Structure 1
Amino acid sequence: MITDQKKFITGHSHLAETVKWLDAIIFSSNPDGSEYYFITEAVEKIIGITPDMIIQNPKVLLGFLLPEYVTLFRDFVAEVRKGNNKSIEYKIINARNEEVFLRHSAYPIFSEDRLVRVDGIIYDITREKTNSLLLQKSEERFRTLFETAEDLIFMLNSAGNFIMINTNGALSLEYSPNELLGRHFLELVDNKSKPEIAKSFQKILRTNKIETFEAELVTKYAKNIFFEINATSTKENGVIDSVLAIGRNITSRIRDREKYKELYNKLIEANRIISIERDRAKQKISVLEELNRLKNEFVSNVSHELRTPLASIIGFSETIHADQNLPEEMRIEFNSIILDEAKRLSRLINNVLEISQIEDGAIDLQKSQFNVVESLKSIIDASIPKSDEKEITLSINIADEEIAIFADRERIEQSIENVISNAIKFTPPKGRVTILAKKLFKEFELIISDTGIGIPKKDLPYVFQKFYKVSRPGDHTPGTGLGLVFVKNIIDLHKGLITVQSEEGKGTTVVIKLPLKNK
């Protein structure tokens, strides 16, 4: 006489072949679980014991169950014995001493209204559980960031009404979050700014790009606050349905900007006085030297005044930027534009300070060997959006070979970026900027030409003079007049050479030569 187990195996021999490739435990047992008719080899991978061990001793499985799940498992077994399909999730310590999460489903099988066996399947859901816990932690971190951030963080529906806003952001506007939910964003915007802000949001809802703009918002108690807002659209099922935005309070920055304009005008006036005194140098050398000292001191003061607000902007941005637990999409959204803009202004200030350091002989070059071609390509890639905006054609001819130089990488990159930026800035729309780079004997040679407005002949001798601004009829392009001064000083410190050739109305060519690696 053969046993029930042998009957099952004889009648279902095809089952083993069908399911053995599944990454789950398939089993069949008698109603009380005291005898297993069939169990797949996956039990060895998941639990660490062989099917034969379970068939010989069915109770061995219970030994892996953690104590806190015993009651749950007993209730599960009781429900199955009542004839109910049932699924549970529990954790075990397998034979390899590993924590494993399992999803156990059991299905009672009846014959002539009598429970004859239980079939089931057990999945290893450890990875699923781990990912779920990681997602939960990530959401908790995001929620903490959202609620503790000093910035104004909010979401609007497609109609422009608030559907989410962080507590600190609402408080900065002297509201509670609940007071703002459902209200239209434009209700908070100063009347003179509303048309432009409305256009910005309409543009956001038409594209997936991040838009940056300044908005003057009015608080609950009629106080005006300036915000720099970075906003982008979000999609639901492929359709744009909302706007996510972060706003940084830049009221202090706006005040500093006005102060900077005032100080800069004073700087221009100081420069004018110095130019006059230069013509009288033979008679008034002592006066000229004193004015020059005052001018350098003035530049230093201007820069330090601007660095104070910028330091907080950059510091906060870099802190968020360095948080590796923040999802990439959120990191880009919260940091990139703010950080890039702050660093751009910071570089302007550093140029002023570094020129003074260079003149005093106090600058310390951080030299290392690097591939200048790689740096040049990165700078060109970063310049493409500006050239595309003006429909300027970039004609690039760069050697494919590595060209190594021994130099201060950061300052050389700043210098090259400055020249390329100037070429694009002073080239009219649909013009051309040509960049040629090659190794020439023992030098790296970079030639940057443009079809821009050119430099008047009378101004060419002074392009490397500190604070000198070229006068071009009809041109009101902003600038400090320090860019080429900084570039020349840096190139000179590296024992290189920079020359400028230009013809008014036809364009400018800048040639930079740097010695190859030479420690």
Structure 2
Amino acid sequence: MINSNTLETFSELERLQSEIKRLKRKNYQLESKANSYRKKYLRYHAFFEISSDPFYITTYPGPPTENYPNPRDYLKQWKIIEVNNTATQIMGYSKKQLTSLSLGDIATHNAPKSKQTRSIIKELVNPIEKGQMFSIERDHIDRRGNKIEVEIKGQAVNIGGIKYIASLSRDISDRKKLEKEILKSYRLEKHCRQVLQKEIANRIDFTLALIHELKSPLTPILSSSETLLSREEPDSLNAELARNIYHGAKSLNACISELLDLAKSEISGLTLQRTSLLLNPLLSEIAGELTPYIQSHRQELILDLPEQLPAVLADPERIKQVLRNLLNNAVKYNREKGRITLKAGERDPLITISVHDQGRKIAQKDQLNLFKPYFRCSQDRARTDGLGIGLALSKQLVELHSGEIYIRSVRGKGTTIIFTLPVFSNTGRTSGK
């Protein structure tokens, strides 16, 4: 016979069995969560340890109060609670030793207190309070007392309602060393550039003064010799002497003018008087002007032009100056009884003008320097006169017209110097470069 006590006992057992089942289910759920958390911890810990840079987790005491302590004392409130193996290897401490220290124990503070204070608040505290990542450069001191220049990047993390700071510390000693070397090189280069600019300015001033001194006596020589030439019989000895004086002075005056133009180009003082220009008449004019001079050297000038070339936007006097330089050079370096060809053509959107002679090939090493001021080919220095500025000036003038100038020299075929000018389009602008 089952009494009431027995029933109560059975009822209690059923309740306990039900509770045990519930607790087992709860325990299973907790174990599942624990395993999940354990896996996540292992995964994050692996990321934490695999870093090749020191990784720190520190406490965050909050922003400094009005009674702001010494920056070093403030950073001592940032207790290190976790580090990775890389941090221990680089800093020379064990994990136990390092986690007993603070940021204030491993950071140096060489700057004045006021500057440190502004730096810590601006670069560290303000971004943290705004929930942003911070980046700051500091010096860390390892256990052996060695200074390590580091860049620290980090952010606040909330763990269990408590704010911590997770930061990565990267050694930037090599970068800082390189920056110092670059800065040193920059300062040296700046100093050298200033010295060079001063030397160039002095040289230009000297050149301009020299040109003035040379031009002054040339003016009466030119005018006097021209007057004598007009008064003497053309075939007389005096006329021949006056003619020699006049042509010599005129040649010297042209060299001085080129020297002046080159000096101006070095200080960006060369100017152009551009106008819409048809090249056929200009090229024919230059050919007519220089034909007697070329023939006097027992050479022949051939003019090879199409019926009509498009207009260019150019300074006619400067283009004539370039052509005179190129044709004079061709005469100097041409073979005896050789031909010189002045040729022009259209290669949309450019006009190409070339001067070809039948002289010797110019050596490759000389071609590289041909358009440099005062340069003359080594094989012709003793044979020819001149300052070596004609081609350099021609290059400056062509480039001022947005054109290009270059050379082609082939053994047995001679040398061709070619320059280009952009075509003047109907819109009123030059096309091309």
TM-score, structure 2 as length reference: 0.47
- TM-score, length-scaled by structure 1: 0.40
Identify the structure with bigger relative contact order (alpha carbons < 8 Å, sequence gap 6+).
2
Larger fraction in strand:
1
